[in-house]
Structures are given as structure tokens and as C-alpha cells.
Amino acid sequence: MSDLGIDFGVYRTHGELYDAMRRLAEAHPGLSELYSIGKSLQGRELWTMEITNKETGPAEEKPGLWIDGNTHSGEVTGSAVCLYTVGYLLGNYGKDKFVTDLLDNTAIYILPRVNPDGAEIYLTQTYHRTGGGIPNPDFEDGEGHYEEDVDGDGAIVYMRIQDHAGDWRISKKDPRLMLKRKPEDTEADGPYYKVLREGKFLKYKPGKEVTMAPKRYIGGTNRNYPAYWAPGGLPLGGAGPFPLWEREPRAIADFWADHPNLSGIHTFHTSGGLILRESATRADSWFVDQGLEADIAVYKVLADMGLEQTGYPAISIYEDFTFEDDRPFRRGCATSFFYEQLGAFVFSIELWDWPRLLGHGGFMDRGGVDFSYSDLSEGDQLKELHWIDENYPAGFVDWHTYEHPQLGPVDIGGINTKYTRRNAPPGKWLEEEAEKCMMFALRHAAMLPRLSIAEAKATRVADTVYKVEAQVKNLGFMATYVTQIGVKIKVSKPVIAQIVLPEGVELVMGHEKADLGHLDGRSAKLLKPRVVGGEVIDRSRRNVEWVVKTASAEPVELLLEVKCPRAGTDRKTITLS
């Protein structure tokens, strides 16, 4: 609970989320600005919070980090973590040294809900699969099984239909638990059941083989970004008809185009308890093949930081998070877009490690992408029910008989996966997840490059003639270009040093704007040092000088300015006397 009475352990509808962000912004006007970067198809604003200390300079003159959540409609834990991050930063400025330094020198942009239309359906209705909240024109004309709250109790769980050829039976240790039928089970070991997600059937015909109906909602699938985009997949619900077809990714892409200071992103998803890094389409050897050794080196440093902060392993999407036959279809992903086309270090955090809480170890320990709840032993599934009983009883609906309008008598019940397997239950579990995971993003932000005019002086070399000298440093961990791929694709702009001449001062030698190229950060030490003539070359600093002439011998002030979109701006005033 914040000083403003904001509870960070609850899930909020779009209006409630905006209200909390508005109250935080109004309470901290010198540190925050709340604005919309676009609208969803249904007209919901994409409310974004810009956070920095305005007294130390505007956000656009500082290196920036982007944080977002809830790209997928049902992954609402991400929105909660984003809001918690807003509250933490604003509430701790001036109290916590790390936060104070961070907001004095960097800009943080936070969009808690990328997919407001789909999330609103997920939060206010019973549906689990709500995509981007865009009604699918093919749904009503389709056929097959679709999810629906058949009994109207406010939860979509499961249906079990007694069938002597069914694949499921009731556990003898807990009648709430359904177990897979063993090959050697006979009719005497029954009764047996078919188990389906609670729902109905389009164009229902008794005895017909169960097929899946078209999705009720489409969009919001994180395959609509330009990188490696290709048509295909589910009709309109996969990649969309063209890149950036959906309004939300288009708004985010436009915002990045207008904010060249951005060079890092953390996007919060669920679930599984892991941190995903690039590449989504290639093995790690690709970085070396492309001359991007520095990028993979920094990626791994940040990954270790993420593991230390969250306990979640940071893994390659391509090598560790993709089924072999899925690799060709990793197209249109946000991670590829932000790294390969915008030159930013990007991490996708899969929040909420429910299996770990049940004793199944971390993501890689329990089999990685091959882990399946249906493969758990009876004992492990009993532990899951016990955890729900102890921590979130609403997570299980007791089995009860209901007259299905198409199937006749069925039993309805089972785990409600919305706030168990997929999202953290509201309350302490949600707050703990937010507190644990948001700091990784902030530590990443603290490692961005930071330009500084370390020294500046003017020396008289003749009557009214002065040599002006400055040393420019990068005080950050990352180089001013942030990523090598950013240099390769020409989105990482160089450091520019400028001398601003007042009236009566003439430039005799040098250029008003001097291109200093890029400055290394401490990350350069991750690779072999550059040695020339037995000396290690320090490329984190650069000297620049000008010769100027004044119209009189009277003292006069002039301004020196250095700037780089990804490394910030610094200024110093010197006096010619």
C-alpha cells in the first residue's frame, strides 16, 4: 500500500489503472508526466508514464529505458509490476540514493498495459483466450468447441463427461483430481471421462469428433512487429495482414521513432519464471559471425544480473525457449524488432513461477519448454491442490453436475488457471512478484551510457584570442552507441561536441559542432583490451578544442555542450577573461 492509498496487490481494469497512474503523477509533478501514446481499436488510451527529475533536464536529453507489460491480454501480472515500478520510483526519489541518482540522470518510460482491449475482457469477463480483444469475423461462421462459462458461475474451468472410452479417471486420493488413464487400466478401474475446457460447440452434432472453433478474439499475439514478419499462422490472429497492423505495436514503434534516447526495454509477460534474451531466430554463434561480440557479452552480464535479482534464468529464445519445429515461425516478434531494427538491449520477462513454488525447480531444471502440467505425477498434482487450498481457494471450483444445453449432464469444475498457473494470485504473491522483478529493469537503466564534460578550460594565447579545451567522458557501463548492431544499422548516433558562441565571439579554428564518434563504456573491458605500442587505449574519453577570438578584452561567457541521443546531454559554461 502506498502513501496515496494505492494497493499494489490487486488487478485493475483500464479505468482503475489510469486512476492510479493519474494520482501518482499528480502527487509527483516534478518527476512524472502521464500521457497517451495512442489508442486501441476500441478507443482506450495507451497511458504511459514518463519518469525523470525535470530539474536536472528534460527526459529527451537523458538516456532512456522503456518498460511495458500485458502485451498478451491474459498476462495481467505484467501491468501490476509496471504500476508497482511507477510507485516505487516516485515514492523513493530523495529517500533512496540509487533511485535518486537514476532519475537525476536517466528517463524511464512505462506503459503498463500494451493490450487494453484484450485485458479488459480478461479482467471483467470469464474468458481466458482474449487475444487483442478484436472480434474474429470468422468465429460465428465456424464450427467446433469454444470456451464459455456454461453454468454462469463466473469462472471457465473444465467439463468431464463420463465415457467408457475416456482418457481420464478420478483420483482415489482426492476426488477433485483427474488423472490420465493408464494403458493397463480396465473398465473395472473406472469410471472414465473425457475432459474438455468448459464451453459449447458451434454447429454442434452429437457424436461428431471434437474440433476447435475459430478464436473468438484475434490480435495481441506479439507477431505483428516488422522484424522477420511474414503472413501465415492463424488467420489474422497470428501475424496480421501486414506489419504493425495492430494499433498498439504501431503506437509503440512511432513513440520509439520520436524518442532516439531510448535504447533498452523490459517487457513483462507471464508465466514460467524466466528471462528471455535475443536472438529469437539464431544461435548465439550468430553474434560472433556478425561481429557483435560486444553485444552478446553485455547481454550475458545483464542476464547474470537478472538471475541474481529474480532467481530466474536468462536464456536465449532460439536455443532454450523454442521447440525445434517452431523455430522457423519466430517471426514478427517484439524482441527481434527492438534489438535488430532499433539496436536496443531487450529482455522479455516471463513472470510468476508457479511450478517452482510447487517444488519442480526452475525452468531449465524441470525440462524447459518440454514441461507439461499434464505430465505431473499424482503426488505433484496433489501438492498443487494443497497449495491452492492454503493460498488461493478461489483457484479451484468444486466439481458439480450441470445440464449442458448440448451434451446433457456433465460435471463442471477444476483449477481456474487465470490466477494460479497463469498469473500470480492477488495479494501478497502479486506484490512479492512485482518487488522481485522490477529492480532488474532499474539496474539495467543504471548501466546506460552517461555523457559528461569532465574538464573544460580556456587559455589566452594572444590578445583576445583563446584556446578552449574540453575532455568528454562516458561515465556509464555501456558504450554511447549501446549496441554494436545499432552502429551497424546506423541508428546509434555519434557524440557531438558543440561550442555556442555569444555575440562578439568569433571561431578561429575548429568546427562549432565536432563529431567525436562513439565513446566506450566500462563494458569494453569485457573483451580483450585495445593495446597500441604496449599501452591500453582508453576510448571512454575524447578531447576536443577550439580557438576563438573576442571583440574586446572584456570577460565573456560561452557555452560548451556535448550530446548523444543514447548517452544524454551535458553542458558547461566557461569564462574568457
- pLDDT tens, position by position, 341-351: 999 999 999 99
Looking at the structure of the chain, the number of domains it has is 3
What distance in Å separates the CA atoms of residue 295 and residue 277, rounded to the nearest whole number? 11
- Average pLDDT of span 62-76: 97
479 and 536: one domain?
A: yes
pLDDT at 5: 85
Least confident of 316-320, 330-334, 439-443, 446-450: 330-334
What distance in Å separates the CA atoms of residue 345 and residue 458, rounded to the nearest whole number? 39
If DSSP states are collapsed to H, E and C, what string results for 25-84? HHHCCCCEEEEEEEECCCCCEEEEEEECCHHHCCHHHCCEEEEEECCCCCCCHHHHHHHH
39 and 95: one domain?
A: yes
**Residue 305 near residue 443 (C-beta atoms within 8 A):** yes
pLDDT bucket at 324, cuts 50 / 70 / 90: low
Domain CATH code at residue 267: 3.40.630.10
Nearest alpha carbon to residue 394 among 422, 370, 376, 419: 419
pLDDT at 236: 40
Domain CATH code at residue 492: 2.60.40.10
- pLDDT tens, position by position, 79-93: 999 999 999 999 999
pLDDT at 329: 56
**Mean pLDDT taken over the chain:** 93
- Average pLDDT of span 528-553: 81
**Residue 541 near residue 473 (C-beta atoms within 8 A):** yes
b/e string for 415-448 if b means 16 or more Cβ within 10 A? Answer: bbbbbbbbbbbbeebbbebbeebbbbbbbbbbbb
510 and 561: one domain?
A: yes
- Average pLDDT of span 193-209: 93
pLDDT at 235: 39
Per-residue pLDDT at 2 exceeds 70: no
481 and 537: one domain?
A: yes
b/e string for 297-323 if b means 16 or more Cβ within 10 A? Answer: bbbeebbebbbebbebbbbbbbebbbe
399 and 314: one domain?
A: no
**Residue 392 near residue 420 (C-beta atoms within 8 A):** yes
The total of other beta-carbon atoms located within 10 Å of residue 51's CB is: 27
Examine residue 2 and state whether it is found in any structural domain, yes or no.
no
Examine residue 129 and state whether it is found in any structural domain, yes or no.
no
pLDDT at 327: 59
382 and 332: one domain?
A: no
SS3 446: coil
pLDDT at 323: 66
Examine residue 4 and state whether it is found in any structural domain, yes or no.
no
- Average pLDDT of span 136-157: 95
SS3 509: strand
535 and 457: one domain?
A: yes
Instruction: Please name the helix (run of DSSP H) or strand (run of DSSP E) that holds residue 535, with its range, or none.
Output: strand 535-536
Per-residue pLDDT at 250 exceeds 80: yes
77 and 154: one domain?
A: no
Examine residue 3 and state whether it is found in any structural domain, yes or no.
no
Domain span at residue 414 reads 137-214+357-419
- pLDDT tens, position by position, 355-364: 998 888 888 8
**Residue 251 near residue 257 (C-beta atoms within 8 A):** no
What pTM, to 2 d.p., does this model score?
A: 0.95
Examine residue 397 and state whether it is found in any structural domain, yes or no.
yes
Examine residue 7 and state whether it is found in any structural domain, yes or no.
no
Measured in degrees and rounded to the nearest 5, phi and psi for residue 124 equal -110, -10
Residue with the larger pLDDT of the pair 185 and 149: 149
Examine residue 566 and state whether it is found in any structural domain, yes or no.
yes
Per-residue pLDDT at 471 exceeds 50: yes
Measured in degrees and rounded to the nearest 5, phi and psi for residue 535 equal -110, 140
Least confident of 57-66, 134-143, 526-535: 526-535
39 and 69: one domain?
A: yes
Least confident of 10-19, 166-175, 232-241, 328-337: 232-241
∠ CA 468-469-472, nearest 5°, is 140
111 and 189: one domain?
A: no
* Full DSSP string of 257-316: HH-TTEEEEEEEEESSSEEEES-SSS-THHHHHTT-HHHHHHHHHHHHHHHHHHSPPEEE
pLDDT bucket at 325, cuts 50 / 70 / 90: low
Instruction: Please name the helix (run of DSSP H) or strand (run of DSSP E) that holds residue 562, with its range, or none.
Output: strand 556-564
- Average pLDDT of span 520-528: 87
**Residue 121 near residue 73 (C-beta atoms within 8 A):** yes
Domain boundary among 419, 436, 459: 419
pLDDT bucket at 321, cuts 50 / 70 / 90: confident
Q: How many residues does the chain have?
A: 577
∠ CA 565-521-567, nearest 5°, is 15
pLDDT bucket at 232, cuts 50 / 70 / 90: low
What distance in Å separates the CA atoms of residue 125 and residue 137, rounded to the nearest whole number? 20
Residue with the larger pLDDT of the pair 130 and 325: 130
